[in-house]
Amino acid sequence: MGKYFIGIDLGTTHSAVYYSLSEQSAEPQTPADEVGRIQQLAIPQFIAAGQVDARPLLPSFVYFPHQSEFLESDLQLPWGKATAVVGQLARELGAKSSGRLIQSAKSWLCHSRVKADEAVLPVDALEEVAKISPAQVTESLLAHLVSAWTQAFPDAPIAEQEVVITVPASFDPAARAITEQSAERVGLRARLIEEPLAAFYAWLADQHKWTDNLDVNEHILVVDVGGGTTDLSLIQTVDKEGALGLERVAVGRHILLGGDNMDLTLTYHLAAQLAQEGTQLEPWQISGLTQACREAKERLLSNADLQDVSVVVPSRGRSLFNNSIKTTLTQLDVQRLLIDGFFPAVQFGESAQQTARSGFSAINLDYEGDPAITRHISEFLAQHGVKPTKILLNGGVFNATVIRNTLESRLREMLDQQPLTMLTPSHLDHAVAKGATYYAQVQAEGGVKVKSGLSANYYIGVASPMPAIPGMAPPVDAICVAPFGLEEGSQEQMLPNEFSLVVGETVTFRFFQSQTSDAEAVGKVVASFSVGTLNELNPLSIRLDAGHYNAGDMVRVYLTSRVTELGLLLLQAHDTQSDLSWTIEFQVREA
C-alpha cells in the first residue's frame, strides 16, 4: 500500500487533487491529527506570461499559443518547459482566441459519433493549430497534475500511491477505459469512482456519526451539476444484519448540461441585445463575452442587493478603453434566464422536452435540448419510481444561495412531501476529489462503504440468421450478459443458449446497455425490433485465434460471463466440441 491516498477530480471545467496520509505509513513523530486528514494539493499553473502560482483548482483548459506569442522563458513551469498552456491562463487566453483553446474535452470521451482517440480538438482550430484527440487532452491534464504532485512530494512517487480518479456516473465503459488508459500512460495505477458517489463519500467524511442523519429504507438523491454535465444518482439505506447499510441503486444518463450552459445563455442574451443596438459581435468576441458573463453572473448571484454589473467586450484597436464595447447584465436577467430557465417548477414525472433535430449539424458535443435541470430530475425519479427523502447537492453552481434555495423549493413542490432534508458537502467545488480520497482510505483501512455494482444491464449483440435481402443487414438481437447490480469479483454466470462464433478473422462485437434499476436475467433476449430502446456502446473489433479450426469457421459455443476485480467484463466462449475457449474483455469498471 502506498504512503498516501490520492483523489483526483478530472472535471469538465476544473480539476482538483486531494490526499491523505495512510495510518500504516505514519511516522512515530507524525502529529495524530495529520494521519488520515484529507488535504488539498495546490496546483502550480500559469496565471500570466512567465508567472506561475499554485492554486486549489486547475481549470481544465489547454491553449496552444502562436510561436511568437511568448518568450521561451515565459513557458517555464517548476518541472520543465510547457509546450501548451494549461489552467487559468489557458482559459483567459482562449477567451480571445477560441481557435487555439480546448475545453470540455472530458465530454468528448463518450461522444456517440466521435472516437476518443480521433484528433478533433479544438473543434474550430486555426489552420496552424494541430488538432489532438480527447484522450490526449485527458492525458495532458493528468500529466500536469502528476507533475504537481511530484514537485510537492518528490519522495512519494505517485505510481506507488493509492489513486482514485472520478468520472461521471453516466460514463460508458469505453469512456472509463480511456480514462484509465490515459492514467496509465502518465504513470498512474488508478481506480475510478462515480462523481455523485464520490460527493456522497465526501459528505460521509464530514459526518461524526452519519447513521444519526439517515434511517432504514430512505433514498438519497445526489444532484451533481458541474461545469459541463448534470449527473444524477440514487443511494438507498438498507438494513444490513441490524446495521445501516448503503447501496447505490440507480444512475442517470449522460446529460450535457451545467454551469457552462448558464454562461452561454447570458452570453447570447447580451449578444442579441447588442445586435439590436446595432453592434454585431465577431466569434472571437463571443468567447471574451462568455468569460465576462461568467464573472458578472458570479457577482450577481453572490449579492442579491446588486442590481446590475457592467460587462466589457474587447475590440481590436490601439486603445482597449476606446474600442471596448460595454453593456450591462442585470439581476433581473439572471433571475429570468438562469433561475426560471434552468430551475423551473415542474410536476413529478414530467419529462425533459425533445427539440427537433436538423438533418445536418456540425461535429460537436451532443448538447442537451432541454435546459431545465428540474425536468431532468423529475424524469429520472419517475423512471425509477422513487421519491427521495434526502437530497445531496454538489457542484460549484450551488455555491449561489439563490440557486440552492430555488432547487430545494422546486423539489419540495415536485415531491409534495415532508420531511425533505438537504445534505450539503462542506466544499461544493472540491467535494468529489475529497470524496475520492476518503473512498480510497476506507477501501484500505476500513469504514462505511456504499455497495455499488454495475449501474446498468449490459448486452452483447447477436446476429439473427435470415435469407440474403438486398440492402438489408441481418437483424441483431441483444443478449443480457451482465445484469444491473452485479458486483466486481462475482461468480461466473452461464448463459442458457448456445451461439456460433467466428474465429480466425477480425470481427466486430456490439455492446449495449440500459440504465435501469431493474436487473435483467442473464441470457434475457431483447429482440432486434426493440434493440433501439437500448444505448449502443462503442463496438469492439478483435481477431480470435482459430486454434485447430480454419480462419472464418463458425464454432458452436456456450457463453459464461463475470466481472473481475479490475472491472473487466469477461465473456468466455467455450467450444462445445473441445477444450478450446476464447475470451472477450470489455471495461465496465465502476467504484
Better-predicted residue by pLDDT, 538 or 506 = 506
131 φ, ψ to 5°? -75, 150
The pLDDT value recorded for residue 205 is: 94
Average pLDDT over residues 425-446: 91
The pLDDT value recorded for residue 111 is: 77
Q: At what angle do helices 401-415 and 283-302 cross, to 10 degrees?
A: 80
Which tens digit of pLDDT belongs to each residue from 164-173? 999 988 787 7
Percent of the chain at pLDDT > 90 equals 57
Q: Give yes or no for residue 589 having a pLDDT over 60.
A: no
Q: How far apart are CA 164 and CA 342, in angstroms?
A: 32
When mean pLDDT is compared across 206-220, 461-475, 568-582, the lowest value belongs to 461-475
The pLDDT value recorded for residue 520 is: 83
Cβ 124 vs Cβ 99: under 8 Å: yes
Measured on CA atoms in the order 129, 130, 135, 141, is the torsion positive or negative?
A: negative
Three-state SS for 482-516 is: ECCCCCCCCCCEEEEEEEEEECCCEEEECEEEECC
The pLDDT value recorded for residue 93 is: 93
Average pLDDT over residues 178-186: 93
Q: Given the DSSP bridges, would you call strands 390-394 and 421-423 parallel, antiparallel or unpaired? A: parallel
- pLDDT-based confidence at residue 539 (cuts at 50, 70, 90): confident
Q: How far apart are CA 481 and CA 490, in angstroms?
A: 13
Which tens digit of pLDDT belongs to each residue from 552-576? 999 999 999 988 755 678 889 999 9
The pLDDT value recorded for residue 472 is: 66
Beta-bridge partner residues of 190: 163
Residue with cell 482510505: 441
Average pLDDT over residues 429-434: 94
Q: Give yes or no for residue 489 having a pLDDT over 70.
A: no
What is the average pLDDT score of the chain? 88
Residue type for position 348: F
Which tens digit of pLDDT belongs to each residue from 344-377? 999 999 999 876 544 444 455 667 889 999 999 9
Most confident among 107-111, 116-120, 153-157 (mean pLDDT)? 153-157
DSSP assignment string, 212-279: GG--TT-EEEEEEE-SS-EEEEEEEEEEETTEEEEEEEEE---B--SHHHHHHHHHHHHHHHHHHTT-
The H or E element that residue 431 is part of is helix 431-445
Q: Give yes or no for residue 216 having a pLDDT over 70.
A: yes
Which tens digit of pLDDT belongs to each residue from 61-117? 999 999 999 998 999 999 999 999 999 999 999 988 889 999 989 988 887 778 888
Which positions ≥6 away from 13 have C-beta within 8 Å? 59, 60, 103, 104, 226, 227, 228, 258, 259, 260
Domains of the chain: residue spans and CATH? 4-192 (3.30.420.40), 259-342 (3.90.640.10), 457-587 (no CATH)
Instruction: Provide the terminal-to-terminal Cα distance of the chain, rounded to the nearest Å.
Output: 18
Better-predicted residue by pLDDT, 317 or 129 = 129
Which tens digit of pLDDT belongs to each residue from 271-327? 999 999 999 998 878 888 988 999 999 999 999 899 999 998 877 655 544 567 899
The pLDDT value recorded for residue 591 is: 43
The pLDDT value recorded for residue 361 is: 40
Q: Give yes or no for residue 155 having a pLDDT over 80.
A: yes
Average pLDDT over residues 224-247: 91
Which tens digit of pLDDT belongs to each residue from 243-276? 899 998 888 887 989 998 999 999 999 999 999 9
The pLDDT value recorded for residue 425 is: 76
Q: Give yes or no for residue 207 having a pLDDT over 80.
A: yes
Beta-bridge partner residues of 238: 245
- pLDDT-based confidence at residue 334 (cuts at 50, 70, 90): very high
Q: At what angle do helices 283-302 and 259-276 cross, to 10 degrees?
A: 110
* pTM listed for this prediction: 0.83
The pLDDT value recorded for residue 357 is: 46
Average pLDDT over residues 405-428: 88
- pLDDT-based confidence at residue 530 (cuts at 50, 70, 90): confident
380 by DSSP, 3-state: which?
Answer: helix
- pLDDT-based confidence at residue 590 (cuts at 50, 70, 90): very low
